Structure 1
Amino acid sequence: MKINMKFALLSILMISVMQLGGVKGFKNVKVGGAITWRVPDGNDTSFYDQWASSKRFHVGDSLYFQYKNDSVLVVDKYGYYHCDPSKATGYFTDGNTTIKLEHSGLTYFISGNAEHCKSGQRLMVDVMSQHSPSVAAPPASHDHHAQSPTPAQAHNSGSQIGPMAQVSATLVGLVATSLVLV
């Protein structure tokens, strides 16, 4: 009888985790991968656009910029397209900058060096909300004036554990306790 009860509780745990979508934590993504944050080679001015389009970013994820003798600025849409730092909401020069993505929508980054920016050292990421609907919704128009992260929102910590991971960990703890008590 105890074996059947343990099997039933384990089955409930597995079904619960599958229903919740599994454990999902926030990501800390290194901008540009091995290339890092620098002027793209040659005339590859779309390098960062192509890099970002191959990724999915969610609210709560962080971007890690690694660079030398340069900077990262958080700007609005105009600042991105015109390499204009005048209305930057964040300015970083430490060479190892981590910025947490706290809002859904488009977020823009440029190099503080205008020539670097014009040569393609700029990044636009489309940040999705953490909880996306299970049924495809019609595409919403992007708010191109979404607020960018402020310097206070930038930090140098690693990945964080999301709410789904906390719920899953709680379920595992409850089932484990039940199995011990049975």
Structure 2
Amino acid sequence: MDFRLSDDQLTIQAIARDFAQKRIAPVAAELDASGTFPLENIREMGQLGLMGIEVPEEYGGAGLDTVAYALAMIEIGAADTATSTIMSVNNSLYCNGILQHGSEEQKQKYVRAIATGECIGAYALTEPQSGSDASAMHTQATRNADGDWVINGKKSWITSGSVARYIIL
């Protein structure tokens, strides 16, 4: 078995390292202290392919593998864990669910916007009474008499929730 990194893996690692050191690290402490969301950096990360590393190119992503994703996450996390968490939510929790279970229309609309950095995605799991235990969630979606979906429940601590354009619930 060949354990050498591919050219694509090394390239995304270098892109992530360069961006992390030049754009994230210099402002990380200031953003943490002020509680400011790093929107500009996240958008630039999308343009670099970092917000949809495993997302196929036809949906606006880089079309790379899990090793490439892990390498990029290490580099971004070394500069700022908060930014790497945002990157992680968008790449895995948000995009993967739609890629696995969404329609073609949903993939084009909701994944492309996140993978390219145009929009921010969020994943609403945590609830006051159950934490992040999905099997103990109380939130429910039911259809009303008009056939529309009505969501009832409480969520807490939604990473990127205050700035997200789209949320997986």
TM over 0.5, yes or no? no
The structure whose Rg is larger is 1
| More helix as a share of residues | 2
Question: Structure 1-normalised TM-score?
Answer: 0.26
| More strand as a share of residues | 1
Asked which structure has the greater RCO (Cα within 8 Å, sep 6+), the reply is 1
